[in-house]
Amino acid sequence: MAHSELSLKDIPAINVIIGRNDTGKTGLLKLLYATVKSLEIYSLKSENSEVSFKKELAEKLSDTFMPRKNGLGDLVQKGSKERLDVNATIKANNGKYTQPVYYSFGERTEKTITTCIDHVDPIPPDSVNALFVPAKEVLTAFSDIRNIRDKFYGVGFDDTYLDLIRSLDIPATKGRVAAELSQVNRSLEALFEGKIEQTGQSDQPFTF
Q: Round to whole Å and give the CA distance between 93 and 118.
A: 22
- pTM surpassing 0.85? no
Q: Round to whole Å and give the CA distance between 189 and 180.
A: 14
What is the rounded average pLDDT of the residues 6-31?
Answer: 91
Task: State whether residue 116 is helix, strand or coil.
Answer: strand
Between 155 and 138, the higher pLDDT residue: 138
Tell the burial category of 135 from Cβ atoms under 10 Å away from its Cβ (0-12, 13-18, 19+).
exposed
Residue 62 inside a domain? The answer is: yes
Per-residue pLDDT at 203 exceeds 90? no
* Contacts of residue 129, Cβ cutoff 8 Å, sequence gap at least 6: 40, 167
Domain range for 13 is: 1-128
Per-residue pLDDT at 204 exceeds 80? no
Residue 171 inside a domain? The answer is: no
Indicate the pLDDT class of residue 110, thresholds 50, 70 and 90: very high
Residue 76 inside a domain? The answer is: yes
| Helical packing angle, 25-45 and 159-168, nearest 10° | 50
Domain count, the chain: 1
| pLDDT the model gives residue 175 | 67
What is the rounded average pLDDT of the residues 57-78?
Answer: 91
Lowest mean pLDDT among 1-5, 117-121, 199-203: 199-203
Residue 198 inside a domain? The answer is: no
* Contacts of residue 102, Cβ cutoff 8 Å, sequence gap at least 6: 85, 86, 87, 88, 116, 117
- Please answer whether residues 63 and 160 qualify as being in contact, where contact means their C-beta atoms are separated by less than 8 angstroms: no
Element (H, E) at 189: helix 179-192
Task: State whether residue 4 is helix, strand or coil.
Answer: coil
| pLDDT the model gives residue 16 | 93
What is the rounded average pLDDT of the residues 3-21?
Answer: 90
Residue 169 inside a domain? The answer is: no
| pLDDT the model gives residue 168 | 85
Residue 180 inside a domain? The answer is: no
In the predicted model, what is the mean pLDDT of the chain? 89
Reported as a single tens digit per residue, the pLDDT across 168-179 is 887 766 667 778
How many Cβ atoms are within 10 Å of 207's Cβ, its own excluded? 11
Reported as a single tens digit per residue, the pLDDT across 70-99 is 899 999 988 778 899 999 999 988 889 999
Residue 143 inside a domain? The answer is: no
Name all contacts of 181-185 with Cβ < 8 Å and 24+ positions apart.
none
Residue 183 inside a domain? The answer is: no
Q: Round to whole Å and give the CA distance between 3 and 17.
A: 14
